[in-house]
Amino acid sequence: MTIKLSFKEYDAALRENRLMGLKCGRCQETLCPPRGACAHCGSTDLEPVELSGRGKIASFTTLFVAAEGRDQELPYALALVALEEGPHLIGRIDTACPDKLDMSVIGKNVTTAHAVFGGDKYSAGDAAYPLFKLAD
């Protein structure tokens, strides 16, 4: 299996606020984040494409308990976003008041920027993650 879009390539693009995905040559579905085979048809005929970064919040949560080493980030809000091109992505919601979010945030339009997790002793180094900005 040829890796068409590696984690490192996806990560480097995200750090420039470019969201990369893959387009399936067999069923034309768009995939994000990267994977080796199409989630819809299993084909490995995939080509990297740049996505719009636009989507809608499908769900959210505000966390008040974090994993070891990440307490200083609390509270923070995560979102499951349905991207315009079809796939879903998990990232953080860019808001000064994560503890004030309620169900009304579901369905809101977002654009994708990024932030960086510095890594810890149980991870393979630092990594960018999607930071969703509310567009409405």
Partner 1 sequence: MRKVAVIGAGQTKFSGAQSLSLTELFAEAASEAMADAHIEARDVKALFIGNALGDFAEGQGMAPAFIADYIGTMNVPANRYDGACASASMAIRDAFLLVANGVYDIVIAGGVERAASLGTPLATRTFAMFSDSRYEFPAGMTFPGVFALLAHRYAARYGLPIEKLKEQMAQVSVQSYQRGLHNPKAHLRKSVTTADVLKSFTVASPIQLHDCCPFSDGAAALVIAAEDKAQVLSSKPVYFAGVGQASSGPLASQGGYLPRLKARELSAKQAYDMAGLTPADIDVCELHDCFSIASIIAAEGLGFFDPGTAGEAWLRGEADIGGKVAINPSGGLKSKGHPIGATGAAQVYEIVRQLRGEVEAERQVPDAAIGMTDTLGGDGGTMVSLILKRGW
Residues near partner 1 (CB under 8 A): 7, 33, 35, 39, 58-71, 73, 76, 78, 80, 82, 87-92, 101-103, 106-107, 116-117, 120, 122-124, 126-130
- The least distance separating Zn ion from the CB of residue 46, rounded to whole angstroms, comes to 8
- The least distance separating partner 1 from the CB of residue 129, rounded to whole angstroms, comes to 4
- Among partner 1, Zn ion, none, what does residue 63 contact (CB within 5–8 Å per kind)? partner 1
**Complex with partner 1: residue 47 or 73, whichever CB lies closer:** 73
Amino acid at 62: T
- Does 27 interact with Zn ion (rule: CB under 5 A)? yes
- Among Zn ion, partner 1, none, what does residue 27 contact (CB within 5–8 Å per kind)? Zn ion
- Is the Cβ–Cβ distance between 89 and 113 less than 8 Å? no
Contacts (Cβ under 8 Å, ≥6 apart) of 134: 93, 94, 95, 105, 108, 109, 110
> Which residue, 89, 84, 88, 1, is CA-closest to 45?
1
* Total of residues contacting Zn ion (CB under 5 A): 8
How distant, in Å, are the alpha carbons of 11, 36, 129 from that of 92?
16, 25, 8
